[in-house]
């Protein structure tokens, strides 16, 4: 059973990095100060120099400052933490400082990990958390094993409580640059299997699954001809298996698959566009939320999907019934 509350602390490698920086600072700064300001001569003119030699005083001052800065650095690393639960992600500053709420857990739409060269090798990083109710991203900085915390947070999100804020209309290039989110999904093709280098109509299913999920939540955009990592592939490979190898032929194939697997009555919720990006034509499927539940029929089995985070999730019969009752009550989305 998943632990209800998790406390994430800053990686100890961060403190070690600070120690290295401090040591380098105190290795060279005193020498520079002596050369620039001629501190030794100034000190010898003081009365204190008669009882405490300059070398002893310099050592005491440098050691005291070093200990003080190390102590402050240790507290700055040790005291803060991040508390994560089903309700929210909170930055706990520690000591007399006030806690800072970062994100509502059930409003989280997308989590990525930011790591530098050293962080990748020592396995720590910063979680970049985007939510449906905030313009900017929340940052959970420098936590160890960041992939673990991504999985943990995504596991806390209740798919029946997905955000109900409509997606913002943005240029296709901007959507690709941001990556897959609550409202954006990429698919390399509709029917062309890049691994097997042939037409594979089983690839209809993941495309239609995501369209159904968007219709059952708050809509979104599915870009066909874009790989998972954002590489623009275009539709040229898809068109190899068409009788009419152009966008009209591609849309006819899409319509046939959609009407069979989702239903012609839901086709009005999907707008098909063919923008050019990086010199290649892709398909932009702009999806509006449907006014009634949409189901995917594949190999004789009906499935119900919703959008949760940056993925489309199936719901069990009981969860689907509860979600449909609350989400579509009163004809919401008509």
Q: What is the pLDDT along the chain (334 residues), one digit of tens a residue?
A: 455 789 999 999 999 988 888 888 877 776 676 666 676 677 676 767 667 786 777 788 888 888 988 898 899 899 999 999 989 999 999 888 899 999 988 888 778 889 999 999 999 999 998 886 776 789 999 999 999 998 888 888 776 665 555 566 678 999 999 888 888 999 999 999 999 999 999 999 999 999 999 999 889 999 999 999 999 999 999 998 888 999 999 999 999 999 999 999 999 999 999 999 999 999 999 999 998 999 999 999 999 999 877 788 899 898 888 888 877 764 443 3
Model confidence over 235-247: pLDDT tens digits?
Answer: 999 998 888 999 9
pTM for the model stands at 0.59
Can you tell me the distance from the alpha carbon of 327 to that of 312, in angstroms, rounded to the nearest whole number?
A: 16
Phi, psi of 280 (to 5 degrees): -125, 140
Same domain, 195 and 143: no
Return d(Cα 322, Cα 193) in angstroms, integer. Answer: 37
Task: Report if residue 211 sits inside a domain.
Answer: yes
State both tokens at 268: 């009005």
List of long-range contacts for 236-241, beta carbons under 8 Å, 24+ apart: 236/280, 236/281, 237/189, 237/192, 237/194, 238/189, 238/190, 238/191, 238/192, 240/192, 240/199, 241/191, 241/192, 241/199
What is the C-alpha separation between 215 and 292, in angstroms, rounded?
A: 9
In a domain, 137, yes or no: yes
pLDDT in tens, 317-327: 988 888 888 77
Dihedral pair phi/psi, residue 200, rounded to 5°: -140, 100
Q: 129, 159, 189 — which closes off a domain?
A: 159
pLDDT given for residue 333 in this prediction = 39
> What 3-state DSSP class applies to 171?
coil
pLDDT for 55 equals 75
Q: Which of 207, 219, 248, 178 is nearest to 307 (CA)?
A: 219
Instruction: Tell me 107's DSSP state.
Output: G
| Burial of 50 (C-beta count, 10 Å sphere; 0-12/13-18/19+) | exposed
Out of 78, 105, 124, a domain closes at 78
184 shares its domain with 250: yes
Domain that holds residue 33: 9-78
Angle made by CA atoms 81, 85, 91, in degrees to the nearest 5: 30
Q: How many domains does the chain have?
A: 3
The answer to whether residue 4 is domain-embedded is no
Q: What distance in Å separates the CA atoms of residue 89 and residue 100, rounded to the nearest whole number?
A: 9
**In a 10 Å sphere around its CB, with 0-12 CB exposed, 13-18 middle and 19+ buried, how is residue 46 labelled?**
exposed
Pair 327, 227 in one domain: yes
The number of CA neighbours under 13 Å toward the Cβ of 263 is 13
Q: Are residues 215 and 275 part of one domain?
A: yes
On whether both 220 and 264 belong to a single domain, the answer is yes
Q: What letter would DSSP give residue 175?
A: H
CA neighbor of 118 nearest in space, from 45, 252, 201, 21: 21
Residue 97 three-state SS: coil
Alpha-helical segments (H) within 5-143: 12-37, 39-44, 54-78, 117-122
List, for residues 159-211, the tens digit of each pLDDT value.
Answer: 666 555 556 667 899 999 988 888 899 999 999 999 999 999 999 999 999 99
Report the b/e string of 281-310 with b at 16+ CB within 10 A: bbbbbbbbbbeebbbbeeeeeeebbbbbbb
CA distance 101 to 89: 6
Whole-angstrom distance, CA of residue 110 vs CA of residue 161: 15
Instruction: Show which of 40, 58, 78 is a domain's final residue.
Output: 78
């Amino acid at each position: 059973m998943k632990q209800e509350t998790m406390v994430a602390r800053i990686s100890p490698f961060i403190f070690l990095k600070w120690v290295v920086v401090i040591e380098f600072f105190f290795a060279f700064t005193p020498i520079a100060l002596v050369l620039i300001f001629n501190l030794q001569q100034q000190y010898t003119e003081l009365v204190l120099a008669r009882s405490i030699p300059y070398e002893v005083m310099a050592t005491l001052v440098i050691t005291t400052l070093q200990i003080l800065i190390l102590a402050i650095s240790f507290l700055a690393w040790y005291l803060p933490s991040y508390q994560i639960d089903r309700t929210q992600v909170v930055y706990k500053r520690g000591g007399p400082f006030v806690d800072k709420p970062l994100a509502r857990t059930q409003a989280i739409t997308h989590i990525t990990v930011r790591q530098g060269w050293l962080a990748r090798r020592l396995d720590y990083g910063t979680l970049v958390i985007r939510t449906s109710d905030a313009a900017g991203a929340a940052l959970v900085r420098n936590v160890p094993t960041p992939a673990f915390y991504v999985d943990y947070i995504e596991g806390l999100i209740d798919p029946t409580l997905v955000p109900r804020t409509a997606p913002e209309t943005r240029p296709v290039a901007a959507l690709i640059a941001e990556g897959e989110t609550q409202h954006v999904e990429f698919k390399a093709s509709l029917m062309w299997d890049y691994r097997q280098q042939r037409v594979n109509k089983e690839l209809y299913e993941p495309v239609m699954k995501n369209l159904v999920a968007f219709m059952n939540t708050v809509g979104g955009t599915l870009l066909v001809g874009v790989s998972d990592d954002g590489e623009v592939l275009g539709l040229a490979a898809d068109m190899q298996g068409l009788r009419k190898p152009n966008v009209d032929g591609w849309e006819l194939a899409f319509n046939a698959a959609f009407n069979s697997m989702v239903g012609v009555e839901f086709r009005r919720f999907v707008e098909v566009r063919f923008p050019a990006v990086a010199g290649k034509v892709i398909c932009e499927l702009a999806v509006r939320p449907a006014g009634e539940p949409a189901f995917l029929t594949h190999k004789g089995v009906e499935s119900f999907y919703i959008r949760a985070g940056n993925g489309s999730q199936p719901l069990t019969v009981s969860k689907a019934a509860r979600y449909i009752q609350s989400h579509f009550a009163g004809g919401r989305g008509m």
